[in-house]
Structure 1
Amino acid sequence: MTGPSRDVVQAGRVSGGVHIHHGAAGAEGTGARTPPRQLPGEPHRFVHRTAELDRLDGLRTAEGDYRPGVCVIAGTAGAGKTALALRWAHRSRERFPDGQLYVNLRGYDPGEPLPPLEALHRFLGALGVPAPAIPAEAESAAALYRSVLAERAMLILLDNAGTDAQVRPLLPGLTRSLVLVTSRDRLSGLAVRDGAHRITLGTLAEAEAVELLRTVTADYRPDDTPEQLAELSRLCARLPLALRIAAERAASRPHLRLDDLIADLRDESALWEALSTGDDEEADAVHSVFAWSYRALPPQAARLFRLLGLHPGPDFGPGAASALAQLSLRRARHQLDVLVGAHVLEQTAPDRYTFHDLLRAYSADQAGHDEPAEQRTAALRRVLDWYLHTADAAQAWIEPNEDRLHLDPPAEGVAPLTFAEYDHAVDWAEREHANFLPAVRAAEQAGLDRHAWQLAAVLYNAQSPSAVAADWLSVGGIGLEAARRLGDRRAQARLLESVGFCNRRVDRLAEAFDAHTASLEIWEELGDRRGRADAHNALGLIAMRKRDLDSAAAHLTRAVAGFDELGLGHWSAVCRSNLAEVHYQAGRLDDAAAAVEAALADHRRRGDDRSIGNALRIASDIHLDRGQPEAALRAADEALEIATDLRDHVMEGYWLLSSGRAQQALGRAAEAQPSYHRSAVLHRRLGDRSREARAWQGTAQVYLASDRTADAVGFLRRAAEAHRTLNDPWHEAAALEALAQAVEPEAPEEADRHRGEALRLLGPFEDPRAAGIRERIELLRRSDGDG
C-alpha cells in the first residue's frame, strides 16, 4: 500500500476520499489507494459465446462511455453467465482505469441472499470510505456510493442477483461506469426503470457443445466420435456447467466406452425424473449430471461432498473438511483432490476450495437426504469446534497476554491446527477471516449458544492484527446475545469489553463508553478484581481519546492499583504507559518521561514487543516536544520496525504520525510526506477517521513548509470538518489554528475567525498544554490587531 516517495496526496474538492497523484503523470487514484481489482480469475477453457461477447463490446458508445450503464446477463442455471461476464471483464479491464468491483449476491444460495447494505459496505470500503462514514441505512449508503463513483470509470460485476431489489441500490447513477449483472431471472424491472440492456444466454448450439466436450477430453479420449459427443451433449441439455462436469468424468475414465458412460447418465436422468416434481428440462439435466457425478464418487468422497454443504462460510481448507467428515488431514486432502477432479468442487488457491452455488445447494440437499439430522448436527459441531480450537491456538501467538478461555475438548475426530510461529497464526487468521461471521451465525441458528459466544470471544483475539475492527462487531453482537440467553454474566462482561474496544477503534466513543460501563458493572457484581482493572483501563483510554484527561488519569490510576494488587505486572506496565500518555497530552513532559521510561524498561524485560512499540511512540512524542527530533525519530523508527514485524496496520498507521512529525522537524519533507500518506491510507482502511484526519493535517504542514499553500488549505479544511463531525473539539481546534496560519497571507480576516473559533473550542480544557496553546493564539490575534 506504500507508494513511491514522488507520490503526493492532494485534497481539494473531492468526493469520498483523498486523491493521489503519481509523479508528473497526475493520474488520479481511487480514494488514496490502489484502484480495487476484485475480479475473480478468468475462466479456464472458455469457448464460443462470440456473439454475446460482441454484444457486450457494443455497449460502449462512440464517446467511450456506457449509457445506460447496466447490462443483465440472464439465463438458466449452469448456462455460463458468470463465465461469460468474467471472460469479457478480464479482456476489457483497460476500459475501466478506476478498477473493478465484484460481489456474489448469492441470490440462489441455500442460505440468505447478500443484503444490498452489506454489498454497499463492501464496495464503499474498497473505494476508500472509512467504516464509520458509511451510513447504517441502505438508502443513505447507496447515495454515498453514487457520489463516490460519480467521476469514475469502473466495472461493477454483480454476480448471481436474485431480484431487482438486490441490484438497484448498487447502481452507480450517471457515470462512465458499467454494471454487469448475472441472474437466472430476466430482472425486467431493471430494463423498465433503469434502461438496462439484457443478454439472454441460452444453451450452446450442438456444434459448440461438442467442441467444449472435445476441448476437455481430447487428450484422454481422442477416439470418441462426434455422434457420441453430440448424444452426451444432448443429455447435458448443452449447458456449459453440466457439459464440463460430464467431460471431466469422461476424461477421468479414458478406457471406459463413451456409450457406457452415456447409458449411465440416462439412468441418472430416469432416477431424477422419478424423484423430481419439476418439469424444467434444463434444470433436470443439470441435476441429472450432478447426480451422475455424485453417484460415481467413491463413498468417502461422496460423504465429504455432502458434508461440505454444511460448511457455513464461502470457502474452506483441508482442516475444516477433515473436521466435518472426521478424516485425517492427509485423507481429507486426497478426497478434496478427488472432488476437484470430478469437477464438483473448485480449488481457488493452495489448500482453498469453494463450490459453484448450484453445487453447494446440491451438496446441502444430499446431506439432508443421506445424513440423519443428528449426524448433520454432529458434523456442524465438529467444524465449529475446529474453528474454536484453531482460533484459540492462533490467539496464543497473536495476543499471548490475553486470557484464554477454558474450552471443552474438541469433538472426537477433530484435529485443530497448531502454529509453529507468529506468522503462521496470522496467515490462518487472514485466510479464514471471511468464515468467522458465518461460523458464529451458524452456531446461533443451530441453537449452539455456547459455541456462538465462545467463538465470538476467541475470534476477537485471533483476528489478524490488521483486521478492520468494524468487521468483528457483528460477530460480537451475536456472541453477546448468545451469552445473554445463557445467562452467563462473565461471558457477557468479556464480550462487552471487546465490543467497547472495537467501537473505540472506529471512533464510536459513546457506544464504546456504554459497553465498558456495562462491563464494569458486571465485574463489580461478580466481585472480579481483574475485570474491574481491565474496565478502568478501557474507560481511561476512552476518556483520553475524548481528552477528558483528569477522568483518564483517575481510571488509569485505579487500573494500575488493581493490576499491582493482583501481581499482573504486564498489565500494570501497560497502564503506566497509558498514564504516561495522559501526562504527555496534558503537557507535563517530565512526568510523562519518567512514567514511560519506567514502563519501557519493564516491557523490555518482559520481551513484549507490542507494548515496547507503544512506549517508544510516546517517548518519540516527548522527545519532539523537548526539541530532540533525532531522538524522536530513532524511537519512532524502532517502533515502526516492531509494527512491521507484527504485521499490525493499526499500530503502524498510528506510529507513522510520530515518525512524520519527527521527520518534518528535521526538515525531511521528502520522508515525512510518505509517512503521512501511508498513515492516512491505513487509517482509512481501518475506519479510524480521527487518526486519518491527523494524517491529513500532517501532510498539510509539509505542504505549508514547501510553499504549497492551496494544497495545505484543502487538507486542513477536510481535517477540521472530520474532527467537527466526530465531536472532537481538541483536534478541530488544532486544525483550525493551522488553517489560520495557512490562509492568513491572503485572507487575514478569515484567519482571525479560525483562531477565534479555535479559542472557543479550547475553552473547556484546563491542562498546561491547552493553556499554552490558548496563550499562543491570543498573542497572534493581538499581534494581528496591533498590525
Structure 2
Amino acid sequence: MTLRIQVLGPMRAWHDDEPIPLGPPAQRTVLGLLVLAGGQPVGLAGLIDAIWGDEPPASAVNVIQTHVKRLRRVLEPARAPHSRSELLPYLGDGYHLVVPADRIDILRFRQLLHRAAASREVEPLSEALALWQGQPFADLPQLAGHPKVRSIVAEHRAALARLGAALLAAGQTGGAITAFEEVTAADPLDEAGQAGLVRALAAAGRRAQAFETFHTVRRRLADELGVDPGTELTAAHRELLDADARTSTPAPPVVAAARPVPAELPADVPGFTGRAHEMSRLDRLTGTPDTSTVMIAVVSGTAGVGKTALATRWAHRNRDRFPDGQLYVDLRGYDPEQPVSPDAALARFLRSLGLPGEQMPADVDERAALYRSLLDRRRVLVLLDNAASVDQVRPLLPGTPSCVVLVTSRDSLPGLIVRHGARRLDLDVLRPDDALALLGRLAGDSVTGDPEAAEELAAHCARLPLALRIAAELVHRRAPATLASVVGELADHRGRLGLLSTGDPHSDIGVVFSWSYRDLPAGAARTFRLLGHHPGTEMDAHAVAALTGGTETRARSHLGLLTASHLVQRTGDRYGMHDLLRAYARDLAVRCGEIGLPQPLLDFYLRTAATAMDLLFPAERDRRPGIPATGGPALPLPDSGAALAWLDAERANLVATAVHAVAHGPEGYAVRLAQVLLRYLESGGHYPDAVALHGHALRAAERLEDRHAAAQLRINLGVLHVQQARYDEAGAELQRAVDLALEVGDSLVRVRALGNLGHLYQWQGRYAEAARFLGEVVAVARHSGDRAGEARGLGNLGQVRLRQGRHPDAAHDLRASAAICHDIGDAVGEAYAVLHLGHVELSSGRSVEAAALYEQARLVFSGTTELAGTAYALDGLGGVDVLLGEHRRAADRLGEALELFRRIGERAGEARVSNSLGDAAASTGRPADAREHHLSALRIAGEIGYRYEQSRAEQGLARLSAGRHEMPV
C-alpha cells in the first residue's frame, strides 16, 4: 500500500485511496509535528514543548509514546507485532517520520517551488498551488501559530505572487488577476501584491478597477499604518497615469464595487420640531469613533417620546457619511407576541447586502459571522429601532469600526454600554418651548393666539410628540371652537374618566388617546380596534376591508380618518401603527369582545395567496390543497407579475398571521397556508421564511393530529433542506414523511416523499438507490393517475440514468416526461425535460442536436420566471460552442449563466458552470485559468455535497495535471 499524507488544509492520510483514521487531535498533532520536521528526527522534549509549552503533565512522555504507538498501528497495519517500525522509528531521544517527499503534500509543494525557481516555468508553480486545500492543519488549531506553519503560509503567498507575475508576463491576465487577488485577500497591506494586481487589471483593460484598487489600498495604508504607498505600488500607479497621458484619456473615476447599497431608512418625520440639543449630542456621540471598535449610540426613553423620529431625522441628515448604505429594522421589541428575532433580522440584512436566499446559513451565529464579513470595511449605518434587550441587538452589531449603529429602546440597555462601549442619549419629553412650537406648527394660529391654553394642552399631552400630534388634529377638527374650550373639553373628559395627571407619561397619553378615539365615527373606531389585533407591521386597504368585513371604499374612508387623526401612519399605499397605539387599540378590542383575527381576513389572505400561486405555477394547482369556496373574495390579480408583487409585499404578513393562528387559532390556517406557499418561497430563495412557516405549520398539524398534513409538511421541509444543501436534515424529514404516508395509506404523499428522496440521493451520487426510489414513484403515480407526479418522477429518473451512462433509457424517460408536461400545460417541466434530453444528445456525441434542444428549452424558460432554467440552457449552449470552436460566444454564454446562478443563489448551477468554464479554458490552452475554475467548482460542490460536479472537477484537474486539454464529452 502507498501512504499519502495531506497537511495543506485539514490533515488527512490515505493508504492508496482508503482514508486512514488518524485519531484524536492530540494524536494528529504529534504526526503533524513530525511532518513539519521535513524528514528530520524530533526529540521528545521538542514534542512535549510544542504540545504543552511550559506546563507539561507528569505523564507527558507516556502520552507521547501512546500516541506514537497508535499512529504506528494505523499507518503500518501490516507490521508484525513488536517488530521495528519502518515509518515511525525511534531515533535518538525522539521519533523520525520516514515517508518519501512526494507522498507528503507540503514536501511535494516545496519540491515543485524549487523546480519552478530553477526553470522559471509556470507549470510547476501551478501544480504546487493546486496542492493547496486551505490553511495548513486547518483542523488542528494548536498548530496554527507554529513558526513552521506561518512559514508555509508565507511561502504559499509568495508562490501565488510569482505565479501572478509569470502569467502577467505571458499575457494571461485572467489567471494573473486571480493569483494577485488571492495574495491581497490574504494580506490587504501587501504592497507588492497590490501593485501586481493594479498592473494585471490594467493589462486586462479594467483600468477603472485598477485605479480603484490603488486608491483603496492607499486609504487603508493611511488609516491602519499611517503611511503612504511605497515605491513599487507608487510605480504601478504612475504607469497607469502615464498610459492615460499617452492616450490623452483622463483617468477613470474611482467607482464603488458592484455591491448592493441598501437604502432602508424610513421616511423622515414631517413637521419635526426641536431636539437641536439632542441632534448635536448624537453628532458628538458618533463623530469621534474608536479606530478599533464599532461605534454604537443608544437613544433611550419612554414610549411615544420620539426616539424613532429623532433617530430617523439624524440618519437622514447624516446619510452622506455612509456611502455604502443604511440598514434599518423595526425589532418590535415590545410586541408581546411577535418581536423580531435576531436570526430573522440577520436574514433580512443579509438579503439587503446581496446574499441569495439559498446561501442563507441556518445557524444564527453563522448568519452573524457572515453579516460581519459582508460589512467589513464598509461605511454603513445600522438603525435598530425598538430594541427590548441587549440579546436582541448583540448579533446585529458589525465588527468593523467603519460602521455606526444607532439603537432606540425604552430600556437604557446597560449591557451595551458596559460590554460593547455604547454611548447613551436619554431622551426626555419635549422642552416646553419645543412642545409649544410643535403645536403651533401643527395647529396654527389658535395656538399662538392663546399661549396659556396652549401650555395647558401641552401639559395634558405630557409634552410627548405622539400625543401632541393627535391633540393638534383634534384642535383642527373642533374649529372654529377656541383652543381654551377644546382644552376644557379634554379636562372634562379626564375628569369623567376618573383620571388625574400622575406625572406618568403613559397615564397621561392614554387620556389623549381615549379623547381622540371617542371623537371617531363608529365604523372608523371599530377599524382602529381591529387593527390592533393584526400581527403584521403594515396592511393595505384590501386587507383592511377583509379585516373589518366591509368594502374597500369604506376601508379607505376609515383609514383616511385614522391617518388624519395620527392614529395610523401611511407609507405609500400601506398603513401601520405606533406600538403604543397598537397596544391601546388591542385593549379596546378586547373590552368590546373583539378577540383574535377575524376569519374573513384569514380567508382573504389564503384565497389570494392561492390565486397568486395558480397564476405563477398553474401546472401545480392539483398538488396544492384545495381552498373552500366559502368565505370572502380574493383580491383580483390580473397576471403573474401582479401575483408575484402581491406575494412579495405580503410575505411578512402571511407568515405573521400563520404564527398568530398557531398560537390563538385557527391552527388549520397555518397548515394550509404553508402548503400553498411552498413553491413561491422555494423558487424565490425565501428560505428563512419558508422554514419558519413550515415549522409552525407542522406543530399545528401535529397538535390537530392531522398526520396527512404533517407528512406533506415534512416533505416540504425536506425539499427546503435539500435546496440549502442540508442533506442529513432533508433525509430525516423525507424518511419520516414516507413513514407517515404509509401509516395513513396515502400513496400520492408517499410518491412525493420517495421522489424527493430519489432527488436527494441523485445529488449525493447514490444513483442505484435514487433509480430504485424514482422507479417506484413512476409506477405508483401512473397507477393512481397522478400525471404531474409521473412526469416529475420520469424527469428525475431520466437524469439519474444519464448519470449512470444509460443514455437510451434516459432519453426514453425524458421524452415521456416532456410529453406528459406538454399535455397538462406544465411548460417549465417540459423545458427541463428537453434540457436534459440535450445533455443526453451531447453525451452521445451529437452536439448539433443537443444545441437545438438547449435553444428550445432556453426560449421556453425566457418566457417564465425560471431563471435557473435559463442559466442551465446557456451552460449547455456554451459547452456546444466550445466543441464547435466558437470560443467567444461560449465565453459570453457561460459568463451570463454564471451571473444568473450567482444572482439567484443556485450554488449547484454555479459549480456546474465553473466546471464548464474550466473545460472551455483548457480547450483554448489556458491551463491556469482552467485550474482556477475547476478548483472553484470543487470547493462549491464539496460544500453542498454535489457529488457529480465534485467528480467532474476532480477529473478536470486530473486532465490538467496529465497535460491533456481536450474538452470532455
The alignment's TM-score, normalised by the length of structure 1, stands at 0.82
Match of 2:649 in 1: 431
Q: CA offset at residue 160 of structure 1?
A: 0.7
The equivalent position to 2:567 in structure 1, one of 324, 338, 344, is 344
The equivalent position to 2:595 in structure 1, one of 346, 358, 376, is 376
CA pair 382-658 structure 1, distance change in 2 beyond 3 A: same
* SS, match of residue 304 in structure 2: coil
Is the 8 Å Cα contact of residues 537 and 575 (structure 1) preserved in structure 2?
Answer: yes
In structure 2, give the amino acid aligned to 1:199. Answer: L
In structure 2, give the amino acid aligned to 1:356. Answer: H
Do residues 421 (structure 1) and 632 (structure 2) align?
no
In structure 2, give the amino acid aligned to 1:82. Answer: T
The equivalent position to 2:296 in structure 1, one of 53, 65, 70, is 70
Do residues 680 (structure 1) and 902 (structure 2) align?
yes
CA pair 108-530 structure 1, distance change in 2 beyond 3 A: closer
* SS, match of residue 44 in structure 1: coil
* SS, match of residue 725 in structure 1: helix
Match of 2:714 in 1: 496
Match of 1:766 in 2: none
CA pair 143-502 structure 1, distance change in 2 beyond 3 A: closer
Q: CA offset at residue 176 of structure 1?
A: 0.9
Q: CA offset at residue 716 of structure 1?
A: 4.7
Match of 1:328 in 2: 551
Is the 8 Å Cα contact of residues 613 and 643 (structure 1) preserved in structure 2?
Answer: yes
Is the 8 Å Cα contact of residues 536 and 556 (structure 1) preserved in structure 2?
Answer: yes
* SS, match of residue 376 in structure 1: coil
Comparing 496-505 with 257-266, greater Cα deviation is found at 257-266
Mapped partners of 2:794, 2:576: distance in 1:
48
Is the 8 Å Cα contact of residues 875 and 893 (structure 2) preserved in structure 1?
Answer: no
CA pair 64-697 structure 1, distance change in 2 beyond 3 A: farther
Is the 8 Å Cα contact of residues 576 and 596 (structure 1) preserved in structure 2?
Answer: yes
Q: CA offset at residue 458 of structure 1?
A: 2.5
The equivalent position to 1:50 in structure 2, one of 262, 267, 276, is 276
Q: How do 1:44-193 residues align onto structure 2 when only pairs under 5 Å count?
A: 44-59=270-285, 67-129=293-355, 136-193=362-419
The equivalent position to 1:512 in structure 2, one of 723, 730, 739, is 730
* SS, match of residue 78 in structure 1: coil
Q: CA offset at residue 682 of structure 1?
A: 0.9
Mapped partners of 1:676, 1:624: distance in 2:
20
Comparing 644-653 with 522-531, greater Cα deviation is found at 644-653
Is the 8 Å Cα contact of residues 544 and 582 (structure 1) preserved in structure 2?
Answer: yes
Mapped partners of 1:286, 1:710: distance in 2:
71
Match of 2:420 in 1: 194
CA pair 343-554 structure 1, distance change in 2 beyond 3 A: same
Mapped partners of 2:207, 2:467: distance in 1:
52
Mapped partners of 1:424, 1:153: distance in 2:
36
Q: CA offset at residue 434 of structure 1?
A: 0.6
Match of 1:567 in 2: 785
Q: CA offset at residue 290 of structure 1?
A: 1.8
CA pair 718-355 structure 1, distance change in 2 beyond 3 A: farther
Mapped partners of 2:522, 2:663: distance in 1:
29
Residues 6-49 of structure 1 show CA distances to partners (whole Å, capped at 9, x for unaligned) of x999774769xxxxx99643369999752333322333333333
Mapped partners of 1:617, 1:33: distance in 2:
32
Comparing 442-451 with 28-37, greater Cα deviation is found at 28-37
Is the 8 Å Cα contact of residues 792 and 829 (structure 2) preserved in structure 1?
Answer: yes
Q: How do 1:259-338 residues align onto structure 2 when only pairs under 5 Å count?
A: 259-270=484-495, 274=499, 279-338=502-561
The equivalent position to 1:443 in structure 2, one of 655, 658, 661, is 661
* SS, match of residue 327 in structure 2: strand
The equivalent position to 1:586 in structure 2, one of 801, 804, 814, is 804
Do residues 353 (structure 1) and 572 (structure 2) align?
no
Mapped partners of 1:46, 1:66: distance in 2:
35
Match of 1:399 in 2: 617
Comparing 60-69 with 312-321, greater Cα deviation is found at 60-69
Kindly indicate whether structure 1 or structure 2 has the higher relative contact order, using CA contacts under 8 Å at least 6 residues apart: 1
Mapped partners of 2:275, 2:847: distance in 1:
64
Q: CA offset at residue 259 of structure 1?
A: 2.6
Is the 8 Å Cα contact of residues 158 and 167 (structure 1) preserved in structure 2?
Answer: yes
Is the 8 Å Cα contact of residues 879 and 920 (structure 2) preserved in structure 1?
Answer: no
Comparing 571-580 with 399-408, greater Cα deviation is found at 399-408
Residues 657-700 of structure 1 show CA distances to partners (whole Å, capped at 9, x for unaligned) of 446545666422244323312211211xxxx5434444555566
CA pair 198-592 structure 1, distance change in 2 beyond 3 A: same
Match of 2:225 in 1: none
Residues 742-774 of structure 1 show CA distances to partners (whole Å, capped at 9, x for unaligned) of 7x6xxx9xx99xx9xxxxxxxxxxxxxxxx99x
The equivalent position to 1:212 in structure 2, one of 431, 438, 448, is 438
Mapped partners of 2:760, 2:922: distance in 1:
32
The equivalent position to 2:671 in structure 1, one of 435, 439, 453, is 453
Q: Which has the larger radius of gyration?
A: 2
Match of 1:545 in 2: 763
Match of 1:25 in 2: 208
Is the 8 Å Cα contact of residues 217 and 248 (structure 1) preserved in structure 2?
Answer: yes
- Tell me how large the CA RMSD over aligned residues is: 3.8
* SS, match of residue 107 in structure 1: coil
Count of aligned pairs between the two proteins: 726
Match of 1:761 in 2: none
Q: CA offset at residue 210 of structure 1?
A: 2.9
CA pair 168-463 structure 1, distance change in 2 beyond 3 A: closer
CA pair 640-355 structure 1, distance change in 2 beyond 3 A: farther
Match of 1:558 in 2: 776
CA pair 659-265 structure 1, distance change in 2 beyond 3 A: farther
The equivalent position to 1:246 in structure 2, one of 468, 471, 482, is 471
CA pair 670-391 structure 1, distance change in 2 beyond 3 A: closer
Residues 539-569 of structure 1 show CA distances to partners (whole Å, capped at 9, x for unaligned) of 2212222222222222222222222223333
CA pair 49-582 structure 1, distance change in 2 beyond 3 A: same
* SS, match of residue 70 in structure 1: strand
In structure 2, give the amino acid aligned to 1:396. Answer: D
Mapped partners of 1:671, 1:726: distance in 2:
24
Is the 8 Å Cα contact of residues 652 and 679 (structure 1) preserved in structure 2?
Answer: no
The equivalent position to 1:522 in structure 2, one of 716, 740, 760, is 740
Q: CA offset at residue 505 of structure 1?
A: 1.7
Is the 8 Å Cα contact of residues 685 and 904 (structure 2) preserved in structure 1?
Answer: no
Mapped partners of 1:232, 1:145: distance in 2:
47
Mapped partners of 2:625, 2:647: distance in 1:
18
Q: CA offset at residue 430 of structure 1?
A: 1.5
Mapped partners of 1:64, 1:663: distance in 2:
55
Is the 8 Å Cα contact of residues 674 and 694 (structure 2) preserved in structure 1?
Answer: yes
CA pair 255-501 structure 1, distance change in 2 beyond 3 A: same
Mapped partners of 1:66, 1:236: distance in 2:
44
The equivalent position to 2:835 in structure 1, one of 617, 624, 635, is 617
The equivalent position to 2:266 in structure 1, one of 14, 37, 40, is 40
Comparing 703-712 with 598-607, greater Cα deviation is found at 703-712
Match of 1:784 in 2: none
* SS, match of residue 297 in structure 2: strand
CA pair 426-146 structure 1, distance change in 2 beyond 3 A: closer
Is the 8 Å Cα contact of residues 389 and 410 (structure 1) preserved in structure 2?
Answer: no
Mapped partners of 2:289, 2:921: distance in 1:
38
Q: CA offset at residue 173 of structure 1?
A: 2.8
CA pair 155-658 structure 1, distance change in 2 beyond 3 A: farther
- List alignment gaps of at least 5 residues for structure 1: 1-6, 16-20, 756-771, 778-787
Mapped partners of 1:155, 1:224: distance in 2:
43
Mapped partners of 2:688, 2:370: distance in 1:
18
In structure 1, give the amino acid aligned to 2:741. Answer: W
CA pair 223-664 structure 1, distance change in 2 beyond 3 A: farther
Percent identical among aligned pairs is 34
Is the 8 Å Cα contact of residues 607 and 634 (structure 2) preserved in structure 1?
Answer: yes
Is the 8 Å Cα contact of residues 494 and 500 (structure 2) preserved in structure 1?
Answer: no
CA pair 338-470 structure 1, distance change in 2 beyond 3 A: same
CA pair 663-234 structure 1, distance change in 2 beyond 3 A: farther
Is the 8 Å Cα contact of residues 563 and 572 (structure 1) preserved in structure 2?
Answer: yes
CA pair 486-149 structure 1, distance change in 2 beyond 3 A: same
In structure 2, give the amino acid aligned to 1:405. Answer: P
